[in-house]
Chain A
Amino acid sequence: METHKALFQQGQHRLDKLKQLAPRAGDSLLEKMSAKGINRRDFMKWSAVVTSMLALPNPFTSLVAQAAEIADRVPLIWLHLAECTGCTESLLRADTPSIDTLIFDHVSLEYHETLMVASGFQAEENLQNALEKYKGKYLLAVEGGVPTADNGSFLTLGPHGETGLSRVQKAAKDAVAIIAVGTCASFGGIQAAAPNPTGTKGVQEVVKQPVINLGGCPPNERNIVGTLMYYIMFGKLPPLDMFNRPKWAYGSRVHDDCERRGHFDSGEFVEEFGSQEAKDGHCLYKMGCKGPYTYNNCPTERFNGHTSWPVLAGHGCIGCSEPDFWDAMSDFEKPLSRRLLTGLDSTADTIGAVILGAAVVGIGAHAIATFFVKPVDY
């Protein structure tokens, strides 16, 4: 295909340019891999998997492999704002032996508060140096939402007590691309749930630059690494969906690829946790599964090196990669039609029924009144 050909050339061109930059680590990725007992074949297999995950055709495998090898040319600054560090944890918990993690390790990580050794002034110095030195070149990853109420004072960072709001805006200015890791950074997350006492917002709402959103609480580590790889390869944003999430990861609904989908189509539902139907693996729709409204690749990628995912563990999806899901998808163990409306104590159906009742009463009254009024004369 013409477009793929052009994309391939663009990628190859960019990689050739990156290769001229100085590597960060002395040992190459291949050396690192051999130290971990990962051979070239495993690596090429991994590259092929990532290629298909990124929805690219087979020839791109070689680009993915090259990009992985020179990932250490791309400086990455990772900021923590209003968050729980679950996204970082997700990244650290990838497969064994994990090439994903190795790649992350291999990326030129300039600032990351959970992992870096330096603290205090030394940490601040690292950040300022990186912002300066790699101006216009660094990738910015943000974990956590941005508190904006009270001028952002619900979060301050560093010896100068800078607000998270100001820091992310500054760092965004000279970033070559911005990746919002997780639902907090993408859409505000848990702290932005009603009544959002800190006025927390997603990064995209407080910076002018485009932001790639990796929804999920936390997102699958594959989605984080895949996005990094895409960026390294092409130096541009991947195709995004309506909420700026990469299509290759958030292109279909959990429901589309769910292993229990057959039971949904057959109308076989779990009605109570622990029941025979639950043991038989029936569909969790009636237990509140939000898979039909949630874009994510959990059923195909699963978590923790393919160990499991929520629906496999017998609990419905709670929609964790969607905007505002803490409010829009609750009650989590009830389907949408049975959820209590926020602020009101009843479901849409009860309110509908009440309005209907009122209409019927009104009609009845009107009809009765008709008997007592003077007929219209002609």
Chain B
Amino acid sequence: MSESPQVLSASQQVKLKGRVTHIPTMREFAFTPLIRIFHWLRFLAIMILLISGFYIAWPFLMDPKSTDVLIQGWMRFSHLIFGFIFSCITISRNYLFLFSKDKSERRSLLDALSIDRWRSQIKAYVFLGKPDEKSGLYGPLQLVTYASFYSCSLIMVLTGLALYSRVYHEGLGQLLYAPASWLTYICGGLANVRNIHHWFTWVFIVFLIVHVYMVIWTGIRFKKAAVDAIISGYDYHTHAHIEPFPVTTSESVNINEPTIPNKSIL
């Protein structure tokens, strides 16, 4: 699908020379709409799961002396609803990573195999230069971080579903009974399932903070992959940025000629 990136004309380049180069001159298509929708839906789900989860662990709002205020019930209800939403997203996103028509995510695997790319990304984070241009969407460190994030999500989903099947015995709960028993056995009891579920909650909190910092920081320092990318889908950056690299695999368009490529939402 990749076309060769379009660049500014020679006269335009001359104009820019020696001046502040922070003005994005290029945009690349980075995130398909589904990825973006999932990203933000997941953000919402996680925020609700965090709040309701901690509430379940330690119900901190005391009862207003009336049995018809079901705070606890609402907390558990929303935890489950968003738990299922989160489970679906986690599963779908794993599917998309593997089978999406857009190969840009999968290509990140190539970057992760290159020691040079690792070196350049880590160096960039400690202020020693710029990251190399990469073949896929994510640099090696990002890929590993996101992969770990997905593993943790999977753990949350599995332990969460196991807990669910212990509370609700019909329907899905019944269906999950046998695998959930197995998981409970592996963990050494339901209390440990709950413990694991609780401990991994902290992974999400820490991830959130570091992640938000990193995307903002990267956007500011490298004029690349700024926060808006996960909203609009486009990564706006300076033209010079791609110059040292004759081959870029992501799709770029000239900012002056905003031709939006005709893409499937996958």
Question: What is A's interface to B at a CB cutoff of 8 Å?
Answer: 241-243, 252-253, 262, 264-269, 271, 282, 285-286, 290, 292-295, 319, 322-325, 328-329, 335-338, 348-349, 351-352, 355-356, 359-360, 363, 366-367, 369-370, 373-376, 378
Contact = CB atoms under 8 A, between A and B. Distances in A.
Nearest to B181: A242
Residue among A242, A262, A271, A351 having the largest count of chain B Cβ atoms under 10 Å: A242
Nearest to A334: B58
B191 A266 contact: no
Given A267-B59, A328-B191, 6 more contacts: A241-B181, A242-B182, A266-B63, A266-B70, A319-B189, A329-B191
Contacts of A374: 127
Contacts of A325: 189, 191
Contacts of B206: 352, 355-356, 359
Contact of A336 (B130, B195, B210, B217): B195
Contact of A348 (B69, B75, B199): B199
Given A324-B189, A348-B202, A269 B217 contact: no
Interface in B207-244: 209-210, 213, 217, 220-223, 238, 240-241
Chain B facing A: main interface SS = helix
Contacts of B199: 348, 352
B115 interface: no
Interface residues of B, number: 49
Given A363-B213, A373-B127, A285 B191 contact: no
Nearest to B70: A266
A293 B191 contact: yes
Contacts of A285: 59
Nearest to B59: A267
B96 interface: no
A369 B189 contact: no
Contact of B62 (A271, A336, A352): A271
Nearest to B64: A267
Interface in B180-203: 181-182, 184-185, 188-195, 198-199, 201-202
B213 A367 contact: yes
B111 to A, nearest CB: 19
Ranked nearest first, the 6 interchain pairs of A and B with the lowest CB-CB distance are A267-B72, A352-B202, A337-B57, A242-B185, A293-B191, A293-B190
